[in-house]
Amino acid sequence: MKANQISAERAEKQYRLKIASLIGSVTHAQVLADQALEQAGFFMDEREMEESDISRSLENFSCVCDEVLKDLLNEYRKGGLE
């Protein structure tokens, strides 16, 4: 095996490990955002929730996490599941 082939294989393996780690991190972040929204619902009424910048931001963040997770999972699956 050539040195640059070994290096490319190692880089790909590290890339896939980073993608796998991101999947876990994004999933965790999405769960926290969803939980924060749920907790806010216990002390904020519907009007306050609708007018809250952080509430809208958390909802948007959760949606973005969902989209990112789909992309990350698709990218991870390209190399086959390990």
Letter string b/e over residues 17-47, b meaning 16 or more CB atoms within 10 A of that residue's CB = eebeebbeebeebbeebeeebeeeeeeeeee
- Quick one: pLDDT band at residue 80, thresholds 50, 70, 90? low
pTM of structure: 0.83
- The CA distance from 23 to 53, in Å, is 27
Q: Residue 5: pLDDT above 80?
A: no
- The CA distance from 11 to 51, in Å, is 46
Give the tens place of pLDDT for each residue, 20-62.
999 999 999 999 999 999 999 999 999 999 999 999 999 999 9
